[in-house]
Chains A and B, each alone.
Chain A
Amino acid sequence: MTQSAIASHDEHHPTSFVSKYIWSQDHKVIAIQYSITAIMVGLVALVLSGLMRLQLGFPDQFSFIDPSSYLQFVTMHGMIMVVYLLTALLLGGFGNYLIPLMIGARDMVFPVLNMLSFWTYFLSVLVLLASFFVPGGPTGAGWTMYPPQAILPGTPGADWGILLMLISLGIFIVAFTMGGLNYVCTILQARTKGMTLMRMPLTIWGIFVATVMGLLAFPALLVSAIMMFMDKVVGTSFFMPAIISLGETLDHTGGSPILFQHLFWFFGHPEVYIVALPAFGIVSDILATHARKNIFGYRMMVWAIVGIGLLSFVVWAHHMYVSGMNPFFGFFFATTTLIIAVPTALKVYNWVLTLWKGNIHLTLPMLFAIGFIFTFIHGGLSGLFLGNVVIDLPLSDTYFVVGHFHMVMGLSPILVLYAAIYHWFPKVSGKMLHERLGRIHFWVTLIGAYLVFLPMHYLGMLGLPRRYFGMGGTEFIPDSAQALNANITIAALVVALAQLIFIANVIISLRSGKKAEPNPWGATTLEWQTPENPPGHGNWGPEAPVVYRWAYDFSVPGAKQDFIPQNVPNSAVEVTDAAAFAEAGK
């Protein structure tokens, strides 16, 4: 099959409302479906975090929060944010929208599979949310769902909640596999003429490697979910040891809870990078575009993405130091954990060097992207502490870890998501987002989030344990810690409310926002060169674009404009100084 064959295949335009907006096979519509669903379920998780913070900041003041519901809020908040929001929005949302447009394809290579992927994801969300309405409510086992407590009586949601969680995860993984196969095959086989692998924008590299990682890592979650499901429903003993529960000897014999932990974290740690790598790619492109400068060290950025992807599969047990392991294993995993900091730090240096002497435009996407660099450095540095066994052991069960992972994989990708939304909203909707509302949203979110997560590191070093409903009479924790907790709660609620500004901005801008130019940021990548804005079905009109250059020709000496799109040949570039242009290697 050839590219032209795909083109003719994809010219079957949807004709009805249902085929255009519900059972749509257009990657752009599916991307929006994914995004809206992910954001909606993410808002549920945001409300849950607010409820948790109410209890922590003002203990026992709210009758509707008891220890069981608190644990349920913690669990559902964590799982929704990591899997159903971040993974789905970055890969299902931005992956779907950007892959075909950025590589010059007309759609994904398997449009029907793409549609099925979204609706399967939607089903997984419904099953997950259904657990709020079953007897006992959702599971309160923690997002890591460690056995044996996850399925034993006494744990909230141990009857129905955990089953629905496991079923929902299974459905999600099926959806991810369908989508993931599509993303990988589209990137490998549907790139337009001239779009070599090393001419791809870093956004696509990040999405590509993250998707391959997902195809290799999610099976571990599936395997553990199936086996735990059998332990719960059938009574097998894969993970369940011989145990006495609430005075009753259970039938389970000799299973290994640690086995579950290995499986879970074999998925769980790559999952961090499944979220992070697309964010790394997106932030690279946004920084280059809004600093009007080519990305510093493109090749190294690609190598770092690939290197991080490979290394992320050999660091998982650093999440299990407190579970106990052979000291040599601890040494091995601490070493690999510190090694993965090398390519990660390399990326941070390259982002900063991209900004160095750039023509920085402090647009809304740029503000969020720079905010990300700050939060990621903070989260990354505290990760270096926790990667070491002797430091991790005392800190692991404290708020230090909560502060660390919220900085590095909560706040950081969320800031990139906002940067991405502010950056690509004009392409998706044809409207600009409101500037002033966006700036208020950024500053309140960034400063507020720092007020939430930075003090948590201090609370952790005080020894404040995480996961606890209340501190009771713990003597070694000073009263000031409670005062700090109250402040954190107030900041968290302000940050949560600030997100309403963003939602209002989207609604106002969609209704009456300023019309966007086809390429308002002066970007070089292909999605900004479509004949229509927003792009129509099939993306490119009769002729697919041809790519003549990489994605980062900004401020080329001698060129009239400070950017040269990827689909413009040298002969079509307006030049003011031909000698300088030639000397620049163009």
Chain B
Amino acid sequence: MSIFAKLMEKPWLAQPEGTDPALLKEAPSYWPARTALRFLLVTITVIFSLFIMTLLGRSQLGDFHALAGEPWLPFDQPTQLWWNTSILLASSVVMHAALLLLRQQKLQAAALAVVGSAFLILMFLLAQFAIWQQLDTAGFGMTTNPASSYFYLLTAVHGAHLLGGLIALIWVFKRFWQQQSVARIEAIVRLCVTYWHYLFVVWLVLFALMTSSSSTIDSLAALCGF
């Protein structure tokens, strides 16, 4: 039943006993963690959307210079960022593999895959840190211009969410360690897979934005009314 149909119900009318649909129907599937994750992802989406909106607004002020679009700019040929992206993609794929292995009841292999995925996340964070250092060395520090400020800010916020995911893995490992049922482990790994894929997509958006030329950013800003 759609939400609109629900909102049209007339609860003041009593249902004859034995025919109340609210009492007759099966209990709905109950998975609060998945609901919580969905709401959390919406909240995180709002956070990144607002950061991006401020970037687009800020880009229309005179001192904003994009980090790509000219040969001398650091992200004109973002080879290192492509490598970092592939590491994050690998982490996502390995986490997904853990889920598939669990479905085949291969617990040890799945646990290894989860460890591998976490390791790849750490690799990605280190690689991002290396890019910070390269940028700084190249003269694009945190305060050099708003575009570089946004790069440090957005990658830091994205990294913080990845770290949050790593902390959540404590509960995954706890379930492995306690040898809980495969179904329970699979449930929590499914949530991790969703979160991992989501943060990969967020990174793709940030990657695309930060490596855009001034004209692309201007077009996006115009689309948003800036």
Given A194-B23, A216-B43, A546-B23, 12 more pairs with CB closer than 8 A? A184-B35, A190-B32, A215-B42, A216-B46, A230-B142, A235-B143, A236-B149, A238-B149, A254-B62, A299-B10, A548-B23, A552-B12
Quick check: B47 and A219 within 8 Å, CB to CB? yes
Quick check: B35 and A185 within 8 Å, CB to CB? yes
A196-B6 contact given A2-B27, A294-B12, A585-B14, CB 8 Å threshold = yes
Interface residues of B in 27-53 (CB under 8 A from A): 27-28, 30-33, 35-36, 39-40, 42-43, 46-47, 50-51
- List B contacts of A361 (CB < 8 A): none
Quick check: A255 and B17 within 8 Å, CB to CB? no
- List A contacts of B9 (CB < 8 A): 196-198, 299
- List B contacts of A585 (CB < 8 A): 12-14
Determine which of A109, A198, A226, A254 lies in contact with B146 in the assembled complex, contact meaning CB atoms within 8 Å. Answer: A254
Question: Which 10 A-B residue pairs are closest in the complex by CB-CB distance?
Answer: A254-B63, A550-B11, A109-B32, A198-B9, A185-B32, A236-B149, A219-B47, A219-B46, A198-B11, A181-B36
Quick check: B11 and A215 within 8 Å, CB to CB? no
A139 interface residue per 8 A CB criterion: no
Closest CB of chain A to B65's CB: distance in Å?
11
Q: A302 CA to B11 CA in the complex, in Å? A: 12
Closest CB of chain B to A40's CB: distance in Å?
29
Quick check: A197 and B6 within 8 Å, CB to CB? yes
Determine which of B8, B46, B149 lies in contact with A237 in the assembled complex, contact meaning CB atoms within 8 Å. Answer: B149
Q: A2 CA to B31 CA in the complex, in Å? A: 9
Q: Which residue of A lies closest to B63 (CB)?
A: A254
- List A contacts of B7 (CB < 8 A): 197-198, 299, 302-303, 306
B22 interface residue per 8 A CB criterion: yes
Q: Which residue of A lies closest to B61 (CB)?
A: A254
Quick check: B153 and A226 within 8 Å, CB to CB? yes
Quick check: A298 and B46 within 8 Å, CB to CB? no
Closest CB of chain A to B86's CB: distance in Å?
29
Q: Which residue of A lies closest to B9 (CB)?
A: A198
B133 interface residue per 8 A CB criterion: no
Determine which of A216, A234, A302, A569 lies in contact with B42 in the assembled complex, contact meaning CB atoms within 8 Å. Answer: A216
What class of interface size applies to chain A in its complex with B? 35 or more
Quick check: A220 and B50 within 8 Å, CB to CB? yes
Q: A194 CA to B50 CA in the complex, in Å? A: 40
Q: A351 CA to B46 CA in the complex, in Å? A: 35
A interface residues (Cβ-Cβ under 8 A, vs B): 1-3, 109-110, 177, 180-182, 184-186, 188-190, 193-199, 212, 215-216, 219-220, 222-223, 226-227, 230, 234-238, 251, 253-256, 259, 262-263, 266, 294, 298-299, 302-303, 306, 546-550, 552, 569-571, 585-586
B108 interface residue per 8 A CB criterion: no
Quick check: B11 and A181 within 8 Å, CB to CB? no
Quick check: B47 and A222 within 8 Å, CB to CB? yes
B57 interface residue per 8 A CB criterion: yes
A236-B32 contact given A177-B43, A223-B51, A227-B153, CB 8 Å threshold = no
What class of interface size applies to chain B in its complex with A? 35 or more
Closest CB of chain B to A278's CB: distance in Å?
18
- List B contacts of A199 (CB < 8 A): 11, 22
Q: A230 CA to B58 CA in the complex, in Å? A: 15
B interface residues (Cβ-Cβ under 8 A, vs A): 6-15, 17, 20, 22-23, 27-28, 30-33, 35-36, 39-40, 42-43, 46-47, 50-51, 54, 57-58, 61-64, 142-143, 146, 149, 153, 157
Q: A298 CA to B10 CA in the complex, in Å? A: 9
Q: A189 CA to B6 CA in the complex, in Å? A: 16
- List B contacts of A219 (CB < 8 A): 43, 46-47, 50
Quick check: B11 and A189 within 8 Å, CB to CB? no
Q: A236 CA to B141 CA in the complex, in Å? A: 10
Q: A262 CA to B226 CA in the complex, in Å? A: 13
Closest CB of chain B to A47's CB: distance in Å?
35
Quick check: B40 and A189 within 8 Å, CB to CB? no
- List B contacts of A182 (CB < 8 A): 36
Quick check: B32 and A110 within 8 Å, CB to CB? yes
Q: A98 CA to B161 CA in the complex, in Å? A: 32
Quick check: A570 and B17 within 8 Å, CB to CB? yes
A234-B46 contact given A196-B11, A570-B14, CB 8 Å threshold = no
Most-contacted residue by chain A among B11, B46, B47, B61 (CB, 10 A): B11
Quick check: A194 and B35 within 8 Å, CB to CB? no
Closest CB of chain B to A420's CB: distance in Å?
23
Q: A1 CA to B30 CA in the complex, in Å? A: 6
A236-B142 contact given A188-B35, A199-B22, A263-B50, CB 8 Å threshold = yes
- List B contacts of A586 (CB < 8 A): 14
Determine which of A109, A215, A226, A238 lies in contact with B39 in the assembled complex, contact meaning CB atoms within 8 Å. Answer: A215
- List A contacts of B23 (CB < 8 A): 193-194, 546, 548
Q: Which residue of A lies closest to B55 (CB)?
A: A238
Closest CB of chain A to B71's CB: distance in Å?
25
Quick check: B35 and A259 within 8 Å, CB to CB? no
Q: Which residue of B lies closest to A230 (CB)?
A: B153
Quick check: A194 and B39 within 8 Å, CB to CB? no
- List A contacts of B27 (CB < 8 A): 2-3, 193
Quick check: A226 and B157 within 8 Å, CB to CB? yes
Quick check: A194 and B22 within 8 Å, CB to CB? yes
Q: A298 CA to B12 CA in the complex, in Å? A: 9
A255-B58 contact given A199-B11, A227-B153, A585-B12, CB 8 Å threshold = yes
- List A contacts of B54 (CB < 8 A): 223, 227, 238, 259, 263
